Amino acid sequence: MKTVSFVLLIASFMVSGCADHKNTPEAGELNAKASLPADFNFSKMGFKIITSMVNKKSGTMATLYGNDSVKAIALVGNRKSRRTSVFALITWKQQADKRWIGGNIPGDLLSVEMLKVDPDKNIGIYSRFKGACLKVDTDTLGQNARAKYILSLKPSIMF
């Protein structure tokens, strides 16, 4: 009798936990809060995902993108940049995923950091865009440190 009661209890929890996606307003919608502005033309830049990271302390998540040159360097494990190497680090504030308990998804867009590497001059051309409108950040303090940070990120496994 105890076994039957236990099975019925578990089955009732399973059935009551199922949700109809039609009743979830966010189901199947684009996460507009995390989207880049269309006029930034990010999709036309042909970037590939290199790695991603989560900073629980600051409540942010970021994805590092790179062009084909960066992807080729990452696949071989060669840390030497080519003239055409372009990196983009996008950072979002985390928000709770309403469809997955305990999960987080990108929320407000915080920044896009672009780094174009020129190995001949041994420098990188760094630029940062802030906020949802991606306004140019004119503050130059810490640009070298950020460029070194972007170059130090290790790639995820890629195929």
Residues 6+ apart with CB under 8 A from 105: 31, 34, 94, 95, 96, 97
How many percent of the chain have pLDDT more than 90?
Answer: 33
Give 134's pLDDT tier (boundaries 50, 70, 90): very high
Read off the pLDDT of each residue in 22-26 and give the average, rounded to a whole number.
57
Read off the pLDDT of each residue in 144-153 and give the average, rounded to a whole number.
88
pLDDT reported for residue 41? 87
pTM: 0.76
Domain segments of the chain: what residues? Answer: 33-152
Read off the pLDDT of each residue in 120-129 and give the average, rounded to a whole number.
80
pLDDT of residue 83 exceeding 70, the answer is no
Give per-residue burial for 126-152: e unless 16+ CB within 10 Å, then b: bebbbeeebeeeeeeeebeebbeebee
Residues 6+ apart with CB under 8 A from 64: 49, 50, 51, 52, 53, 87, 88, 89, 150, 153
pLDDT reported for residue 11? 59
Read off the pLDDT of each residue in 70-98 and give the average, rounded to a whole number.
79
The mean of the pLDDT values for the chain is 80
pLDDT reported for residue 137? 92
pLDDT reported for residue 56? 92
Q: Are 129 and 111 in contact (CB under 8 A)?
A: yes
Give 22's pLDDT tier (boundaries 50, 70, 90): low
CA Rg value for the chain: 21
Give 14's pLDDT tier (boundaries 50, 70, 90): low
